[in-house]
Amino acid sequence: MKGYPVDGGFKDGSCRGNGGYGIGRRLSAWGVHAFTGSGVVLGLLALLAAVGGDAKACLGWLGLALVVDGVDGTLARRASVKEVLPGIDGSVLDLVIDYLTYVVVPAVFLHRFGLLPDGLGVALAAFIMMTALYCFSNTGMKSGDNYFVGFPAIWNVVALYLWLLALDPWINAAVVVALGLLTFTTVKFLHPFRVRRWMRVNLLVSAAWLASSAALVVLYPDRPDAVWFVWLASSAYYAAVCVWRTLRGPAEA
């Protein structure tokens, strides 16, 4: 059947199946997809750590998965993976992995380590997973200037905060319900790697937040004042930017 792809090419000898890109470009693109795919392994390790009762290890693996997710988009754009490998949808791949690392594992974490009220752990974990489905399937989850619209289901970050802050489980439950409901609103949340305004500052603050978060997890239950201050200050910056952007209203294209 002339014109149908055979072994990555076509019977007429053309390279339309891969856009005419060389083997080096295709290998680079596959490498980016493999890097993105490593997030699912990190998610598995985090889940096993949670089930095994090792909160620090679980948060550590989730932290690594967060870093992978933060940089793989940049690598994908530089490698032009959409053009080089049009048969593989990197966005879908990313969403599948994110649902595991951002939603499933954190929901298990909150329940496993008693951060939710007795008798409500499973229900609240289910609430997290159900509201996140809307976020992940919402075609309007980002504004024109690349802010998230509604709570972006970053439950891995929420799990970190609730674990470090050691709040009453009922306060944690209220936080979970409030954030889950914010999923359906137009409140804006910062995407530090995609929002262009103040990007350098956003990236510096993100680096400070990641470093201080890692230190607090490793040193837990100790909380050095300097590290604690950096963590709270960077958190306050994120909150302030989100409030400012929300009050601005609709974004310009």
Domain range annotation of the chain = 1-99
56 and 220 Cβ atoms separated by less than 8 Å: yes
Give yes or no for residue 17 having a pLDDT over 50.
no
Distance from C-alpha of 160 to C-alpha of 218, rounded to nearest angstrom: 12
CA angle at 156 for the pair 155 and 157, rounded to the nearest 5°: 90
Distance from C-alpha of 66 to C-alpha of 70, rounded to nearest angstrom: 6
**Higher-scoring residue by pLDDT: 56, 193:** 56
For the stretch 105-133, pLDDT in tens is 999 999 999 999 999 999 999 999 999 99
Hunting for tokens 């509604």 — which residue is that? Answer: 150
pLDDT band at 221 (very low <50, low <70, confident <90, very high): very high
For the stretch 37-70, pLDDT in tens is 999 999 999 999 999 999 999 999 999 999 999 8
The pLDDT, as a whole number, for residue 187 is: 96
**Residue 203 CA, distance from chain mean position:** 15
Average pLDDT, the chain: 90
Indicate the DSSP class of residue 48.
H
- Using alpha carbons, select from 81, 102, 84, 98 the residue that is nearest to residue 33: 81
pLDDT band at 22 (very low <50, low <70, confident <90, very high): confident
pLDDT band at 36 (very low <50, low <70, confident <90, very high): very high
What are the DSSP E strand ranges found in 21-155?
148-149
Beta bridge partners, 188, equal 149
Tokens for 42, please give them: 């990190």
Burial class (CB in 10 A: 0-12, 13-18, 19+), 226: exposed
Burial class (CB in 10 A: 0-12, 13-18, 19+), 76: buried
